[in-house]
Amino acid sequence: MNLRPRIVDLYLARTVLVSTLGAWAVLVGFDLLSAFVNELDEIGQGSYTLSHAVLFTVYTVPRRMYEVFPTVALIGTVLGLGGLAARSELTAMRAVGMSRLRIGLGSLLSVMVLTVLMVVNAETVAPFGEQSAQSVVTQAKTGDVVVARVSGLWVREGDVFLNARDGANRRTNGVEWTELRGVRLFEFDGQGKLLSMAEAKTAEHRGDRWLLRDVKRSTFGERSVTTQVLAEEVWQSELDDRALAAAASRPRYLSAQELGRNIEYMQRNGLDAKAFENAYWGRWFYPLNVLVLCLAGLPFAFGSLRSGGFGKRLFTAIVIGVAYLLAQRLVVSLSDVYRFDARVAYLLPPMMLLGLSWGVLSRRE
């Protein structure tokens, strides 16, 4: 079979692209509207206003586009090929000797390009947008917490500013606490003069206080700087430890590179990195999910060549796509419970659906 793109392949790709973009606009639009309505209930908390709700919703657009794209690709493929079938164009292609598989591969050219763009989006724009959105919400509601893309978490309490690279909730022997990593503390006086700066490897919230470990503190005088190196230091603070950990480290808001660094750190220190591993491998298996869903939708598009009821076939294809994504989430959750490799959890559902789709197409061919 000659796989070199031809004019007919570009025509198929353009048709699927138009239907995919239309479905994308509708689904993302509904998702944004729902998110915006939910944010309206938050207005009035702290200094959170309507403009903050709008800004939060806009910042989350790249992430929402990424999340709904597998379903959008399935709908776009079925709609595009179904439209060609309704105009008997697929019949003409079959009459000149094009196989169903060749037609399917041609229609997936535009989907493949969009998938690459979504992978790039997940590593660049989407994490930045999500962290910016969380920064807008948290800063408006508390006035003291900001999450920055490059420098991590920034918190203010009075004249003390805290900066942390990331953080997480830890649990050992039934005891849970919050840990921030890569911590820096800056203390200023009322006139904005820097009094002291401390760097700590970690900061653990124990009871009603923070315990800084491996601390290097520099105190600034009028004409001198005094440096102390301490194994531990207590920092009294009323900052919400859970809010800090949640703002500092959310796996789905990180790029694959950042997820990999967090996994390495947590494994090196004997921490549970399962949530980060699931998010990490989900990024790598994302293109496979899109491809498998589109291939699974091909039999429904070709089925309309022989009989009517295309709307029913489209609905069935959408149900199968949603059921597939839910089934994959279930298997991934089971990997958390039974502690088996996340790669197996992400690979098993697409392989089963791919085998089923290939069998149906081959049999009909």
Judge whether 143 and 52 are in contact, CB under 8 Å.
no
Q: Which residues pair with 163 in a beta bridge?
A: 154, 184
Asked which of 10-14, 47-51, 58-62, 102-106 is least confident by mean pLDDT, the reply is: 102-106
pLDDT reading at 201 higher than 50: yes
Q: Which residues pair with 157 in a beta bridge?
A: 160
Rg of the chain, C-alpha, whole Å = 26
H-state helical runs in the chain = 7-40, 50-59, 61-86, 89-95, 100-107, 109-123, 125-142, 241-248, 256-268, 274-303, 310-338, 342-364
Q: Which residues pair with 147 in a beta bridge?
A: 153
Q: Which residues pair with 364 in a beta bridge?
A: none
Handedness of CA 117, 121, 123, 125 (dihedral sign): positive
pLDDT band at 264 (very low <50, low <70, confident <90, very high): confident
To 5 degrees, how large is the angle CA 207–CA 213–CA 215?
Answer: 130
pLDDT of residue 305: 47
pLDDT of residue 152: 64
The answer, as to whether pTM is greater than 0.85, is no
pLDDT of residue 21: 94
Amino acid at 232: E
Identity of the highest mean pLDDT range in 154-158, 228-232, 271-275, 315-319: 228-232
238: burial class by Cβ within 10 Å (0-12, 13-18, 19+)? Answer: exposed
Q: List the domains of the chain with CATH numbers.
A: 7-124+273-364 (no CATH), 145-249 (2.60.450)
Handedness of CA 92, 98, 103, 106 (dihedral sign): negative
Q: Pick the more confident residue, 337 or 112.
A: 112
pLDDT band at 149 (very low <50, low <70, confident <90, very high): very low
pLDDT of residue 114: 95
56: left (phi over 0), alpha (psi -120 to 50) or beta: alpha
pLDDT per position as a tens digit, 302-314: 654 445 566 777 7
Name the 3-class secondary structure at 174: coil
pLDDT per position as a tens digit, 52-75: 899 999 999 999 999 999 999 999
pLDDT per position as a tens digit, 89-144: 877 887 877 777 778 778 888 999 999 999 999 988 988 888 788 777 777 766 55
What integer best gives the mean pLDDT of the chain? 81
